[in-house]
Amino acid sequence: MATPKRANHSGKRSWALWLLVLIVLGALAVFAWQRETIEGYAITGASYGARVACSCRYIGGRDIDDCRKDFESGMELVSLSEDAAQQSVTATFPLLENQTATYREGYGCVLEEWEG
């Protein structure tokens, strides 16, 4: 009795692996080429997020989760965390940048000094 032929998937797998490698290398090349621009957007987004969320939370008295409504479109990657004891909010752009704004009586919410 003849045995059924098995499909040869190794060719498809190696093709898919090479495609994945090319996509990753392409993404790394774009990141390297546009690194300064991407980092600039990350710093700006994190700084804006921290300042706006701090003001919303400690001046407006709203819940930190409600403060995301004040973000501009395109800021979906920025995440927020709060330190109630310090009255500060930290906004993080994944893997690249985080900024903290702290409420100071008489000054409002102030960003920490940038290191660079």
pLDDT at 74: 84
| 9-63 per-position pLDDT tens digit | 566 778 888 999 999 999 888 888 888 888 888 999 999 999 999 999 999 999 9
Residue-number span of the structural domain to which 42 is assigned: 23-111
pTM value is: 0.71
Q: Report yes or no on 13 lying in a domain.
A: no
- State how far the Cα of 43 lies from the Cα of 78, in Å rounded to an integer: 11
Q: Report yes or no on 61 lying in a domain.
A: yes
Q: Report yes or no on 9 lying in a domain.
A: no
Number of domains in the chain: 1
3-class secondary-structure state, position 98: strand
Q: Report yes or no on 1 lying in a domain.
A: no
| 70-103 per-position pLDDT tens digit | 888 888 889 999 999 999 999 999 988 999 999 9
Round the CA-based radius of gyration of the chain to a whole number and report it: 23
pLDDT band at 5 (very low <50, low <70, confident <90, very high): low
Q: Report yes or no on 71 lying in a domain.
A: yes
